[in-house]
């Protein structure tokens, strides 16, 4: 591809990227909102986010079609969408879906007709509307939120509306907006919030208030949902730490004189413990690694509420912070303990392996020394055999020559065969030496040629 063409395509794609980067599809929702309003909120933690995130989007799309939300009042993106439908009496239902990294949620808004100036807890009162969605994952939290311009009911009246022994309330965002809750699920497993907006006429605040509440509740529950796993892991890690301490004391006390069998037994046991620790660490990292970001989201959102005291009520932040304070740091401390435990196992395994390597090196050295002695003995024996071979060959050559000389003497060609035999002895020794060396060189040359051919034929 031409470089200029590539540059042109990059420039063309840049505005599209920036447009998506700064796009806020939630913004048009403010035009549809008003008070009073009744809001249901549901959040579900996905066990398989890549698959279930798409499934939840398909589920939301099906819901929009099933209840005939007008196409012009729908927005659907990869991780966010909403639909608006108006009833015959001027009431309105809004369904908002959003998918996050670990969970997805629904906000169901019912805005009664302007002629009705009040809302109440319980099922949404929009005609012929039900919520058919099947949860994809574990329920995180469910909320029932009322937004009204009316002043807060009396403390006694709120105690009849909000279950639980203690009421928590605060002024948020401004002096006119107040919220009260008990953080206790009702008979439908929904926590109830009463929000009084006072005389404020800003509808843009409605979504901000609800978003802040659901964000705090969702991440608060996501943090605390891990406590059973955390408690079980604490006990398991403690047992591993005790076992590791005992193993380390035994090994450090006996490693100096332990034999290879004992070292191998220790190594097998420690390797199994390390594998178990790695499995625990992997699971806990997957479940608890997001605790610090979640904790920060809760604290940041609480700070954005600009919370101020509300007479006769304990601050909302008292309950939230009392539940999560130390939780995220405890999770991280557990992860650090597991990393320390894993490092301890790896360290003692390395020491044992080093000890095994030393034993093997000692055995190899002894074996090499034995081979060296054997090789020297073989060389000495080879020279001895070669010397004896020369003597034997010379003896046979001298014997054969003696027969030849006696034959020559009988036919009169040689006067004294004994003298001839005596003279031939040194000659036979020389011939035997030449024959032995020539044979040895021939064999070496043939062996080298065969080895070279083997190397050539190998792939």
Paired residues of 94 in beta bridges: 84, 109
Nearest to 121 by CA among 106, 142, 97, 141: 142
Using DSSP's 3-state secondary structure scheme, residue 203 falls into: coil
Write the pLDDT tens digit of every residue in 3-25: 444 444 444 455 565 555 556 66
Q: From start to end of 249-330, where are the E strands?
A: 308-309
Tell me what the pLDDT averaged over the chain comes to: 82
Write the pLDDT tens digit of every residue in 225-237: 888 888 888 888 8
Whether 69 and 76 have beta carbons less than 8 Å apart is answered as no
Taking the C-alpha atoms of residue 61 and residue 95, their distance in angstroms, rounded to an integer, is 11
What is the pLDDT at residue 270? 82
Q: Element (H or E) spanning 289, and its range? A: none
Nearest to 198 by CA among 285, 31, 310: 310
Write the pLDDT tens digit of every residue in 135-189: 888 899 999 999 988 888 888 899 999 998 999 999 998 888 899 999 999 998 9
Write the pLDDT tens digit of every residue in 300-333: 999 999 999 988 899 999 999 998 888 888 888 8
What is the pLDDT at residue 210? 92
Quick check: 238 pLDDT over 90?
no
What is the pLDDT at residue 133? 64
Instruction: Please indicate whether residue 352 or residue 106 has the higher confidence score (pLDDT).
Output: 106
Write the pLDDT tens digit of every residue in 211-230: 999 999 999 999 998 888 88
Quick check: 106 pLDDT over 90?
yes
What is the pLDDT at residue 1? 47
Instruction: Please indicate whether residue 458 or residue 357 has the higher confidence score (pLDDT).
Output: 357
What is the pLDDT at residue 10? 46
Quick check: 38 pLDDT over 90?
yes
Write the pLDDT tens digit of every residue in 413-451: 777 777 877 777 788 778 777 887 787 787 778 777 777
Quick check: 132 pLDDT over 70?
no
Quick one: what percent of the chain has pLDDT higher than 70?
90
Write the pLDDT tens digit of every residue in 381-406: 776 776 777 777 777 777 787 777 77
Residues 43-71, mean pLDDT to the nearest whole number: 88
Q: Can you give the pTM of this predicted structure?
A: 0.72
Whether 106 and 95 have beta carbons less than 8 Å apart is answered as yes
Paired residues of 92 in beta bridges: 86, 111
Using DSSP's 3-state secondary structure scheme, residue 116 falls into: coil
Measured CA to CA in angstroms, residue 270 lies from 217, 246, 275, 340 at distances of 43, 12, 9, 15
Residues 62-79, mean pLDDT to the nearest whole number: 86
Write the pLDDT tens digit of every residue in 249-290: 888 887 778 787 888 888 888 888 888 888 888 888 878 888
User: What is the side-by-side order of every strand in the sheet holding 80-86?
Assistant: 74-76, 80-86, 92-99, 103-111, 37-45, 138-148, 191-196, 178-185, 168-171, 308-309
Whether 328 and 229 have beta carbons less than 8 Å apart is answered as no
């Amino acid at each position: 591809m031409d470089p200029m063409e590539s540059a042109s395509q990059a420039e063309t794609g840049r505005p599209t990227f920036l447009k998506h980067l700064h796009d806020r599809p939630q913004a048009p929702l403010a035009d549809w909102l008003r008070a009073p309003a009744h809001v249901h909120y549901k959040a579900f933690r996905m066990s398989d986010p890549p698959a279930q995130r798409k499934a939840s989007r398909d589920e939301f799309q099906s819901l929009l079609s099933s209840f005939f939300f007008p196409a012009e009042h729908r927005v659907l993106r990869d991780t966010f969408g909403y639909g608006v439908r108006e009833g015959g009496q001027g009431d309105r239902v809004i369904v908002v879906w959003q998918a996050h990294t670990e969970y997805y949620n629904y906000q169901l808004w019912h805005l009664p007709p302007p002629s009705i100036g009040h809302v109440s807890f319980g099922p949404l009162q929009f005609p012929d509307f039900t919520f058919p969605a099947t949860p994809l994952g574990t329920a995180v939290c469910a909320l029932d939120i009322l937004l009204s311009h009316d002043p807060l009911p009396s403390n006694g009246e709120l105690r009849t509306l909000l279950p639980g022994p203690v009421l928590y309330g605060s002024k948020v965002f401004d002096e006119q907006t107040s919220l009260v809750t008990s953080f206790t699920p009702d008979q439908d497993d929904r926590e109830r919030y009463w929000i009084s907006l006072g005389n404020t006429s800003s509808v843009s605040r409605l979504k901000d208030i609800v978003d802040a509440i659901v964000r705090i509740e969702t991440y608060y529950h996501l943090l605390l949902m891990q406590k059973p796993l955390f408690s079980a892991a604490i006990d398991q890690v403690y047992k591993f730490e005790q076992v590791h301490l005992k193993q380390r004391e035994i090994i450090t006390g006996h490693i100096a004189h332990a034999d290879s069998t004992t070292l191998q037994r220790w190594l097998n046991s420690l390797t199994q413990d390390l594998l178990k620790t790695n499995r625990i660490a992997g699971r806990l990292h997957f479940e608890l690694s997001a605790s610090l970001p979640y904790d920060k989201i809760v604290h940041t959102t609480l700070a954005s509420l600009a919370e101020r005291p509300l007479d006769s009520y304990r601050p909302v932040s008292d309950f939230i912070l009392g539940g999560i304070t130390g939780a995220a740091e405890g999770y991280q401390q557990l992860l650090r303990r597991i990393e320390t435990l894993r490092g301890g196992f790896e360290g003692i395994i390395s020491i044992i392996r080093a000890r095994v390597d030393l034993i093997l090196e000692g055995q190899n050295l002894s074996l090499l020394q034995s081979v060296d002695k054997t090789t020297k003995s073989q060389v000495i024996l080879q020279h001895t055999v070669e010397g004896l071979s020369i003597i034997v060959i010379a003896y046979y050559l001298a014997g054969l020559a003696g027969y030849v000389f006696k034959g020559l003497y009988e036919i009169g060609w040689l006067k004294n065969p004994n003298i001839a035999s005596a003279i031939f002895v040194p000659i036979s020794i020389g011939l035997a030496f030449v024959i032995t060396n020539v044979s040895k060189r021939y064999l070496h040359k043939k062996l080298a040629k065969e080895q070279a051919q083997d190397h050539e034929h190998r792939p």
